[in-house]
Amino acid sequence: MTRAAGPDIERLRADFPGLERQIYGKPLVYLDNAATAQKPRVVIDAVRRYYEEDCSNVHRGVHVLSQRATERYEASRAAARRLINAAHNEEIVFVRGVTEAVNLVAQTYGRTQLGDGDEVLITAMEHHSNIVPWQILCEQTGAMLRVVPIDDSGEMIFSEFERLLGSRTRFVSIAHASNALGTVNPIDRVVSVAHAQGVPVFVDGAQGAPHRPVDVQALDCDFYAFSGHKLYGPTGVGVLYGKLGLLEAMPPYQSGGEMIESVSFGKTTYARPPHKFEAGTPNIAGVIGLGAAIDYVTTIGLESVVLHERDLLDYGTRALRQIDAVRLIGTARDKTGILSFAIDGVHPHDAGTILDREGIAVRTGHHCAQPVMDRFGVPATTRASFGIYTTREEIDALAAGIRKVIEVFARHG
């Protein structure tokens, strides 16, 4: 079968030193990209270069090192703006990742806008980080959390979203794509329907931005967040986009240095966004590394990434469906490169352990999405997730590894 056009995978793989290693004497097959992606040398070098050549705090410093570090830090902000086509650099807030972004919005916008009897609307496929902060907010304000159900394929039931979006709905928070199922949600429709009722929308883009082109102006979402480490950047850094008017109206999330305009014992005034939300010394090296990762992915082209991952998803789906004991969990029509599955009579942790001995790195467990597991009646799944460097040969290795898992349990069953 002809492969879809896409990036030069062998050339790309050479950019990632982590892929060169062996596990138990076998070449590493890294299929855990939904948890975190490997890092290209340009990212590793950018972080190293900051510590070796420009190590200094950002902003306010008049010496050369501080100025150079600040320039590189703010260049990463501009790169993030371009990646998602935000209108202004000031709409890009650096955070630790999507988890912090959700908490920030919940505890600033949410605390000031929600009250007793109001409702927050999410879906049944959300990651825990897009569930628990809203539960806490509801406990604090007297609001209620409403949940849009998903069908047997793992797609949100849009008619139920429209039904639940009522006169008391004050906020919608939804994943761009499910980390446990791969389902891509119709964000444009969600935003359009919500905005028709004056309801703002937060999009958890942790599994979206690394795999799809994102244009926040075209989507018209009010907030969008993504994590650096899933986008081939460092851990502990991410981006919260918010429409500038909303960010200006929101109170600070944390307080201290950098986020102030002036301080006296009588009164403190706050800086404008984004600095209002970036208290203290930031993860400077991480932000600079994130900028390098964005530049790297942009050079490859996310449209090319989409073609490659669709080819892998089609190929992998066919391969796993040929194994009788395997049940795919999540078969939505529009998916990112994620294959979650259960093997008859085998606990996912056992499957993951045997695959690991074959050099195959997958994720096992509930994937911080326990309600999804409950919906499909499984305690956990085994999840293989693809990146820009994943090959069909690695999927073949996964299929062979699964057959070995089944053989081991048949032999000892």
CB atoms within 10 A of CB 256: 11
Task: Tell me the residue length of the chain.
Answer: 413
**85-129 pLDDT, tens per residue?**
999 999 999 999 999 999 999 999 999 999 999 999 999 999 999
Domain with CATH 3.40.640.10 in the chain: 44-299
DSSP state of 211: T
Lowest mean pLDDT among 93-107, 186-200, 264-278: 264-278
CB atoms within 10 A of CB 98: 26
Q: Is the model's pLDDT at 4 over the cut of 60?
A: no
Whether the CA torsion 7, 11, 13, 17 is positive or negative: it is negative
Report the pLDDT value the prediction gives residue 261, as an integer from 0 to 100: 86
Regarding the domain delimited by 44-299, which CATH topology (the fold level of the hierarchy) does it fall under?
Aspartate Aminotransferase; domain 2 (3.40.640)
Q: Between β-strands 363-365 and 381-385, what pairing exists: parallel, antiparallel or unpaired?
A: antiparallel
- Token pair, residue 363, equals 């994720």
Any residues with CB less than 8 A from the CB of 385 and at least 6 apart, and which? 31, 32, 33, 34, 35, 182, 336, 337, 338, 339, 363
Contact 7, 300 (CB under 8 A): yes
Q: Is the model's pLDDT at 77 over the cut of 80?
A: yes
- Token pair, residue 37, equals 């992606």
Distance (Å, whole) CA 14 – CA 38? 12
- Three-state secondary structure call for residue 185: coil
Q: Is the model's pLDDT at 3 over the cut of 80?
A: no
Distance (Å, whole) CA 118 – CA 144? 6
CB atoms within 10 A of CB 279: 18
Report the pLDDT value the prediction gives residue 6, as an integer from 0 to 100: 61
Q: Is the model's pLDDT at 5 over the cut of 60?
A: no
Mean pLDDT of the chain: 96
Distance (Å, whole) CA 19 – CA 111? 44
Nearest to 37 by CA among 297, 223, 348, 224: 297
The order of strands in the sheet holding 338-343 is 326-328, 338-343, 381-385, 363-365
- Token pair, residue 176, equals 């761009």
User: Can you spell out the DSSP letters for 12-28?
Assistant: HHTT-GGGG-EETTEE-
Q: Is the model's pLDDT at 163 over the cut of 60?
A: yes
**167-178 pLDDT, tens per residue?**
999 999 999 999
Q: Is the model's pLDDT at 189 over the cut of 70?
A: yes
**313-348 pLDDT, tens per residue?**
999 999 999 999 999 999 999 999 999 999 999 999
Contact 177, 154 (CB under 8 A): no
pTM beyond 0.75: the answer is yes
Distance (Å, whole) CA 229 – CA 210? 10
Q: Is the model's pLDDT at 2 over the cut of 50?
A: no
Regarding the domain delimited by 9-30+301-412, which CATH topology (the fold level of the hierarchy) does it fall under?
Aspartate Aminotransferase, domain 1 (3.90.1150)
**19-43 pLDDT, tens per residue?**
999 999 999 999 999 999 999 999 9
Q: Between β-strands 360-361 and 29-30, what pairing exists: parallel, antiparallel or unpaired?
A: parallel
Nearest to 101 by CA among 111, 89, 90, 92: 92
Annotated catalytic residue 55:
no
Cis peptide, bond prior to residue 27, ω within 30 of zero: no
What are phi and psi for residue 270, nearest 5 degrees? -100, 155
Contact 55, 69 (CB under 8 A): yes
Catalytic residue, from 55, 138, 221, 368: name it.
Answer: 368
**307-321 pLDDT, tens per residue?**
999 999 999 999 999
Distance (Å, whole) CA 232 – CA 39? 5
Q: Which amino acid is at 302?
A: L
Domain with CATH 3.90.1150.10 in the chain: 9-30+301-412
Average pLDDT over residues 388-397: 97
Residue 413's pLDDT band, with cuts at 50, 70 and 90, is: low
Average pLDDT over residues 137-142: 98
Distance (Å, whole) CA 353 – CA 359? 10
Distance (Å, whole) CA 154 – CA 133? 23
Distance (Å, whole) CA 314 – CA 316? 6
Residue 60's pLDDT band, with cuts at 50, 70 and 90, is: confident
Number of H helices, E strands in the chain: 15, 17
Residue 260's pLDDT band, with cuts at 50, 70 and 90, is: confident
